[in-house]
Amino acid sequence: MHERFKNIINSDKPVLVDFYADWCRPCKLMPPILKEVKDRFKENIRIIKVNVDRHPAIVSRYQIQNIPAVLIFQNGEVRWNGVGVQSAEVLSNQIRLLV
């Protein structure tokens, strides 16, 4: 997964990564928010979810300590990050700066 993850985030299109766990209650609030963001930006953004329990190397690499955590990558670099449930507005405003 780590090599595939690197290939995905190296896009010039913004890539929003939602770090979550199945046991995390606040994480369960993110899917409808992510859908709203995807509906706004369509093909101008890619959204992926990373389960922190299944991908500890990625979690460690990006120093994810609390979830949910959202990172927005572009060209392999973290362009924005937020911890906790993020609103569609907050995420959209950050993505608008990149598209």
Domain count, the chain: 1
Write down the pLDDT at residue 1: 61
Whichever domain contains 23, its CATH number is 3.40.30.10
Write down the pLDDT at residue 2: 81
- List the end-to-end C-alpha distance of the chain, in Å, as a whole number: 26
Predicted confidence pLDDT, tens digits, the chain (99 residues): 688 999 999 999 999 999 999 999 999 999 999 999 999 999 999 999 999 999 999 999 999 999 999 999 999 999 999 999 999 999 999 999 998
Which tokens sit at 11? 């896009």
**Cα 80 from Cα 69, distance rounded (Å):** 11
Q: Residue 41 is part of which domain span?
A: 2-96
Write down the pLDDT at residue 99: 85
Annotated catalytic residues are 24, 27
